[in-house]
A and B are shown apart, each in its own frame.
Chain A
Amino acid sequence: MAEIVLDKVSKQYPDGAVAVRDVDIDIADGEFIILVGPSGCGKSTTLNMIAGLEDITSGELRIGGERVNERAPKDRDIAMVFQSYALYPHMTVKENMAFPLRLAKVDDATVEKKVRDAAEILDLTQHLDRKPSNLSGGQRQRVAMGRAIVRSPKAFLMDEPLSNLDAKLRVQMRTSVSRLQKQLGTTTVYVTHDQTEAMTLGDRVVVMRGGAVQQMGAPQYLYDHPANLFVAGFIGSPSMNFVPAGLENGTLRSPLGDVPLTDRVRGLLEGADAPREVIMGLRPEHFEDARLVDESAQSHGVTFTSHVDVLESMGSDKFAYFSLSGEQATSAELAELAADAGSADVPGEGVSLVTRLSAASTATEGEQAEIWFDADKVQLFDPHTGRNLTYSGD
């Protein structure tokens, strides 16, 4: 076990393309850290550099206080779990798990014991003599984990280990990965493009985009205080609503109506030298059916009436979709997020809005509904730089 430090680590390919730019991450001993971002954001390259599978162009990587830039993967004492599991097809489960120990010339009795122990933890005991081709996806995934843990390495690196599983199994395995990491207390770096995994698994999440770190912090903090449009749009499902708005004399004019700014927000905006055109961000759960909000609460929020396009009842709550007339919010970050989510291909005009209402809401599909939202939860972004103008950076 050890801490891992990335100090201004960069990766540039021979053709000049920069995959990772000046990444600084301090990973504490025993911490579970998630690298998340859309494909091509440099998260896997970063992981491969920690593993030693790719060279570091500049900067320093330290594991347990020692510089390891020049060390081969096998001399770094870290284990890795691959998205494809990368099990050796010609070996049984037992041989697969024993492979790193055999290479390290561990004696037979110890190998036997360690493999048994790992198999027990991962519930693989009855499969030890089978070949990977005879295992289910979830079992293969566990064997891959087993091969990583038998060695008791300084750290685990996981490259989208759950992406090849079906949705239901992924949720189960997510919990068991989390439990296993807590049980072993080994420093873990986990790469995923799935924001749900990022939110649920990690102690801290690093959001990456275009080879650079956008924001780093506890999942809830990133959710509540995104530093920019990209993080705001990437974290959270359904994602944050973005609506273009204009700042005028301390009021925010938006397609949802005029939003009075609270003193806190006004103070932040003054300090941030805000432009006149901004993007307003609102999480779906900050909306509510106006009939369910009491008078006193209504006063510090905004109420608007709109036509419910689609209503999805989830039992515990209801998702109501609206489309508002007017221009869509545009920015480079939003375009990239849309491309990554594939929603750039979904036809639609105007501003679409996702709201999450209580199950008690009487909103009906195809009819007008009165919706309220909390003005204090509004986040404002600079459309040009993507910066969160209401982010105090504390």
Chain B
Amino acid sequence: MSHAVTQETGTPPPKRDAKAKAAISEGKKAERRLGLLLCAPAVIVMAAVAGWPIIYSVWLSLQRYDLKFPDRQEFVGLDNYVTVLSSPYWWNAMWITVVITVVSVVIELVLGMVLALVMHRTLVGRGIVRTSTLIPYGIVTVVAAFSWRYAWTPGTGYLAETIAGGEPVLTQKIPALLVVVLAEIWKTTPFMALLLMAGLALVPDDLLKAAAMDGANAWQRFTKVMVPVMKPAILVALLFRTLDAFRIFDNLFVLTGGSQGTTSVSMVTYNNLIKGLNLGIGSTMSVLIFIAVAVIAFIFIKLFGTAAPGSDNGGRR
């Protein structure tokens, strides 16, 4: 029925249409101009602080530009990309980054969901529970990373003595990575929990009551009603955390310094760009990280249907 209606109203006599267009165009124009003017300051600031550096890095990535040999700067096209993409160091870093990202985000999702449910259901001392849960997220990452390092250092750290039996875990690849993942999870689970809790608030109580009446047990209510309804919130939380985890730097920098092949892509980039002063190769890596992040965001938004932040679709698809 609605089709018929839209077809009818969708094709008014062409004459009237043209007239109407002419009549509103004056007001519309002024409105558009005002809109553009209002946007302009934000656009200019964004272009200056975000747009220009991106363009400049892309430009640098096409140059041979090593500050150790400043006079040998020249345009080399995609040579830098070939160099980076055929380097085992890069691929090792990529692999480590992906492993850390996937493992930590998956565990964070599960723990975050548990925490969110606890916070959502808590009736007594709700404020205290929420605040204490959020403490790790309020601590500066580098500070937290240092305390983890001391804790795992044999001789001084309590964790090294009690759990690792005096072994220097941070000097071995796999244990060191586990410690890094642990530090990541400890630090960002509260953030995940917070986002998921916002999602839980989207699930009406009546819906869960109805499911209980329909014969669903607690687990079925969770999997068949709660999760599907809060899916948009879950995907947004996953997207944020994945992007964040993919750029892991500070924890690795403090805990292992990238030794024993525990470098992430961000660390490799830092080593080349800042330590190695190789602007060309470093910029190439930055651009590659940029592309990787864009691909992750694209996959989440296009394939999983995550609502892009800011575009509210009313919680349904």
Contacts and interface: CB of A to CB of B under 8 A. Distances in A.
B is bound to A: yes
Interface of A: 51-53, 72-74, 78-80, 82-84, 86, 88-90, 99-100, 103-104, 131, 133, 147, 151, 157
23 contacts: A72-B217, A73-B212, A74-B213, A74-B214, A74-B215, A74-B217, A78-B213, A79-B214, A80-B213, A82-B206, A86-B204, A88-B210, A88-B228, A88-B229, A89-B229, A90-B231, A99-B211, A99-B214, A103-B214, A103-B215, A103-B216, A103-B220, A104-B215
B216 A79 contact: no
A273 B206 CA distance: 49
Contact of B207 (A80, A88, A103): A88
B212 A74 contact: yes
Contacts of B228: 88, 90
Nearest to A90: B228
Contacts of B21: none
B276 to A, nearest CB: 51
B207 A86 contact: yes
B3 to A, nearest CB: 13
Which of B210, B212, B216, B217 gathers most chain A CB within 10 Å?
A: B210
B33 interface: no
B225 interface: yes
B122 to A, nearest CB: 14
Interface of B: 204, 206-207, 209-217, 220, 224-225, 228-229, 231, 315-316
A53 B209 contact: yes
A137 to B, nearest CB: 15
Given A89-B229, A89-B316, A103-B220, A84 B215 contact: no
Contacts of A78: 213
A323 B213 CA distance: 51
A78 B210 CA distance: 11
Contacts of B207: 86, 88
Given A80-B210, A86-B210, A74 B216 contact: yes
In the complex, the 8 A-B pairs of residues with the closest C-beta atoms, listed nearest first: A86-B210, A100-B214, A86-B206, A74-B215, A90-B228, A103-B215, A80-B213, A73-B212
Nearest to B231: A90
Contacts of A82: 206, 209-210
Nearest to B227: A90
A151 to B, nearest CB: 8
Nearest to A77: B215
Contact of B213 (A79, A83, A88, A104): A79
Which of A74, A86, A147 gathers most chain B CB within 10 Å?
A: A86
Contacts of B220: 103
Contacts of B216: 74, 103
Contacts of B231: 90
B209 A86 contact: yes
Nearest to A83: B206
Contact of B212 (A53, A89, A131): A53
A88 B225 contact: yes
Given A73-B212, A147-B214, 17 more contacts: A51-B209, A53-B212, A72-B217, A74-B216, A74-B217, A79-B213, A88-B229, A89-B229, A89-B315, A89-B316, A90-B229, A99-B211, A99-B214, A99-B224, A103-B220, A147-B210, A157-B213
Contacts of B215: 74, 100, 103-104
Contacts of A103: 214-216, 220
A77 to B, nearest CB: 9
A94 to B, nearest CB: 15
A9 to B, nearest CB: 19
A52 B229 CA distance: 24
Contacts of A74: 212-217
B219 to A, nearest CB: 11
Contacts of B209: 51, 53, 73, 80, 82, 86
A73 B220 CA distance: 14
B185 to A, nearest CB: 29
Nearest to B203: A89
A100 B315 CA distance: 24
